[in-house]
Amino acid sequence: MDERLQKILAQWGIASRRQAEQMIVAGRVRVNGKIVQLGQKANPASDRIEVDGVLFKPSDRPVGVYLLLNKPAGVVSTCSDPRAKTTVLDLLPPKLRSGQGIHPVGRLDADSTGALLLANDGKLTFCLTHPRHSVPKTYEVWVQGSPPEQLLQVWRQGVILSGRKTLPAEVRVLDRARDQTLLQVVLSEGRNRQIRRTAELLGHPVLKLHRTAIGPIQLQPPGEPALPLGRYRPLNHSELIFLWNQVNLTSINVPVNLEEHSI
């Protein structure tokens, strides 16, 4: 059966659907020897599909890899960076960087640290980053000064960013120091630099931002040690089931058994 090529490439784990579209536009994808156009369809059972000159078949799809990374500051949430900055894939060992199709699921600002999912499942990536899905994400945020409760209530109710009001957020004080305050913020949407822009708008700029959890997927699960900066771990079965329930996938690949690695 014919399917759009970006969907095929995503299902095979070669790239996320958005990345697959970019690859097609760049002329990197051929079907039966001819460069394809965005929107073109193919039959994965009978057509020869090549990416950068490499022939792919459904049987070539690698075993599913689903990882949680504790991203350090200064590392960008992309697969490659033309400015030669360190990317999240640079934190993985060569056996995972090469030929596995692993990519970040969503983004985390270069200046921010914390929980970031990595996977080679393009369908899951597409579903989790689609606006209709709202997996709550938890952050610990140091802001400048001491915002009063009335101002935090404004944050909870939503503020106007780029002409559109943000969704309600959970905001509570964890600690107050002399000139700064530690907040826990839980968001159910992921607009560009949303926490930083909101804090700036309210007059208490962010000093440090750290994501601690994506839904129930935590850097420090109850009763376990925290995942160190620059290290990753495979998701466990219950975490994979949570993702499955979120995106309502019909199946999810079995993750490989991988050890944690540092930078």
Could you tell me if residue 188 is inside a domain? yes
Q: What is the pTM for the complete model shown?
A: 0.73
pLDDT in tens, 8-49: 877 666 666 777 888 899 998 999 999 999 989 998 888 999
Supply the CATH number for residue 14's domain: 3.10.290.10
Strands (E), 62-218: 66-71, 103-105, 113-119, 137-144, 160-161, 164-165, 170-176, 180-187, 206-214, 217-218
Q: List the domain range (segments joined by +) for residue 36.
A: 3-60
Q: Which two tokens stand for residue 70?
A: 């504790």
Same domain? 222 vs 210:
no
Same domain? 167 vs 197:
yes
For residue 2, count other CB atoms closer than 10 A to its CB.
13
Number of domains in the chain: 3
DSSP state of 152: H
Residue 85's pLDDT band (boundaries 50, 70, 90)?
Answer: confident
Give yes or no for a contact between 13 and 122, defined as CB atoms under 8 angstroms apart. yes
Residues marked active site are found at 109
Give yes or no for a contact between 31 and 65, defined as CB atoms under 8 angstroms apart. no
Per cent of the chain over pLDDT 70 is 86
Same domain? 154 vs 109:
no
Same domain? 150 vs 167:
yes
